[in-house]
Structure 1
């Protein structure tokens, strides 16, 4: 552990190793640039890393839209899910763990804070029968489709000219 930088308390985040210029790392930094965060740093005088941004998986089945989100450490009471018209909003927070001044961190990569994600849904979501479950740090959200928006199978009928004889109508 001798080559790891040490971080004490809630000071600035762990420094990066400077083994040369990495263009991909630079691009990630530029893509994650948030001018409002920069203003907050200037006004508040504190350095903040990226906040807690959970990963989402969204899929459509024949009868519903299914959302899954990785929310480790988020309590059920800290989640708020709203459906307004065609707009689904999921927000919540993961609380920072208490740090002691005597704590020594060799790596500090976990993020904390509030998050909000909004999704625009297609027409036909049955808002009355939605369900959500937070189990083992994963949010499972099911938004069923209205029956009239679900696919219906249409039987094809026609005449088969390969058979001899009369075709029944």
Structure 2
């Protein structure tokens, strides 16, 4: 039986990069989450279903390298502007932070700036990496990774020289 397992590098650079950025004064509020995923297998494929509420397919990247399937996303949240009732990106909100400071206010907790995640899965040897398919519908990412057929033992006849 083949298994699919989570891939977790020893020192995840995202943590250390974020820590270094905060020490350098470039601390940006990011919400990191680990989306729920179901992984199934049948005789033809490995099937992944990942919940990504509020995301769109444009926010999601899928890659396969050395039998490691990586799914990641980065999405800037759109926040309502109190002044104009229009949607703003987090960069526009950052500009408006100066107005907030001038008004004598400061952020205590700000978790809605951006959302990002990375999930990696170590795949078994029997995958067909050339024919992976993915679809995204109603906040659910579906990935199908076909399995290669089992190689059958081959009998080799010995001929006289």
Give the alignment's TM-score, normalised by structure 2.
0.56
**Structure 2 CA distance, aligned partners of 1:84 and 1:45?**
31
**Structure 2 CA distance, aligned partners of 1:57 and 1:109?**
27
8 Å CA contact 1:94–1:112 kept in 2: the answer is yes
**Structure 2 CA distance, aligned partners of 1:45 and 1:82?**
29
- Out of 69, 84, 87, the position equivalent to 1:88 is 69
**Structure 1 CA distance, aligned partners of 2:116 and 2:31?**
11
Shift of 1:45: 6.1
- Out of 128, 131, 140, the position equivalent to 2:130 is 128
Aligned to 1:143: 145
Structure with higher strand content = 2
1:25-80 per-position Cα deviation (integer Å, ceiling 9, x unaligned): xxxxxxxxx56544433323647364243222222222211111111222212221
Shift of 1:88: 0.9
How many residues matched?
Answer: 113
Which of the two has higher C-alpha Rg? 1
**Structure 2 CA distance, aligned partners of 1:44 and 1:74?**
29
* Secondary structure of 1:77 counterpart: helix
Gaps of at least 5 residues in structure 2 are 1-14, 86-109, 152-161
CA pair 112-59 structure 1, distance change in 2 beyond 3 A? farther
Aligned to 2:120: 118
Give the alignment's TM-score, normalised by structure 1.
0.54
CA RMSD after TM alignment? 2.9
1:112-143 per-position Cα deviation (integer Å, ceiling 9, x unaligned): 32222211101010122211010100001011
8 Å CA contact 1:74–1:93 kept in 2: the answer is no
8 Å CA contact 1:67–1:141 kept in 2: the answer is yes
Higher relative contact order (CA 8 A, sep 6+): 2
Aligned to 1:66: 47
**Structure 2 CA distance, aligned partners of 1:79 and 1:38?**
24
CA pair 100-42 structure 1, distance change in 2 beyond 3 A? farther
